[in-house]
A and B are shown apart, each in its own frame.
Chain A
Amino acid sequence: MVATLLMTAIDSTLMGVEDRFKEAQDLQSDYARTAFRVDNVTNNTTVMFINVTNIGSNLLKVSDIDVLVNGTLVTDKIKLHSVGGSNATDLWAPSERLYLELTIKVNSGVRVSIVSGNGVSASGVLT
């Protein structure tokens, strides 16, 4: 009975840890396959326009994206996004271009960083 109790506990624990280990491996794999490039950053008096291309092999979610302008988090300033011309999707597939519009007033030369949900980032400069 003692052996059965111990074996049951060890077996279920190992299975649980193994499942989580696989999930952690998936997260690491996603991170390694994530890459994107800031193509250009432009603006007018009140709006900033950013084009970013997914150059990795991982499907990303637009809603997980964060934006920093000159080091300050401005994700809440995103007023519009589209992927491949569609603003009805939250998925950003490899080779597709993400377009972001932010309501923010800045001067040329500021640094813009885009961060994906898994923490990969790419930067560009407003021209």
Chain B
Amino acid sequence: MIFFIAALVVSMAIAGTLISTTQKFSGDIQKKGGSMGDTLLTDIKVINDPVAMPYNSSNKTLTLYIKNTGSTTLPFSNATVLVMINGTYYSNMTFVMPSGVKTWGPQVVLTVVVHEVTLPKNDYRLKVVVHGGVSDTITFRIN
């Protein structure tokens, strides 16, 4: 009788552990799936004119216009928007939203002013990376 009760208790404990682990695993699968889906629907385009970049050599600022061409709202901050020019990462940026707009939703153009950029006359490769690792790359010219 004692062995039977002990076996019952052990098997219930194993079943409980197995169910809670499976539930956690199921939740993780759904979470990962949702994240993959969000990435699929995330897209951006750098819409600057590559031969007329708004670069101010006096105060060393480059203004970028990044359009959300996906169908999700994107976060924007120095931590979630990465700008690289010819492979060099620039972290000093300010963000400007269109008047009356508070979130970077679909079709919204985010203006990113990159500071402390020195760009002599040349061709450059710009890469912008946003949330989820989604990126856009353009080649531009400084005249």
Contacts and interface: CB of A to CB of B under 8 A. Distances in A.
B33 A76 contact: no
A20 B34 CA distance: 9
B52 interface: yes
Interface stretch (A10-18, A39-47, A100-108): A10-18
Given A5-B22, A9-B27, A123-B49, A73 B40 contact: no
Main secondary structure of the interface of A (DSSP, over half): helix
Interface string B56-72: 00000001010101110
B40 A66 contact: no
Interface string A37-58: 0000000000000000000000
Contact of B33 (A13, A115, A119): A13
B41 A6 contact: no
A91 interface: no
Contacts of A5: 19, 22-23, 26
Given A27-B71, A118-B69, A16 B29 contact: no
A113 interface: yes
A40 to B, nearest CB: 18
Interface string A67-87: 010111101100000000000
Given A16-B37, A72-B54, A73-B109, A119 B27 contact: no
Interface in B61-86: 63, 65, 67, 69-71
A27 B18 contact: no
B135 interface: no
A110 B38 CA distance: 39
A119 B48 contact: no
Interface of B: 18-19, 22-23, 25-27, 29-30, 32-34, 36-38, 40-41, 43-45, 47-49, 51-54, 63, 65, 67, 69-71, 98-99, 107, 109, 111
Given A113-B47, A117-B107, 7 more contacts: A1-B19, A20-B40, A27-B70, A68-B47, A68-B49, A71-B53, A119-B69
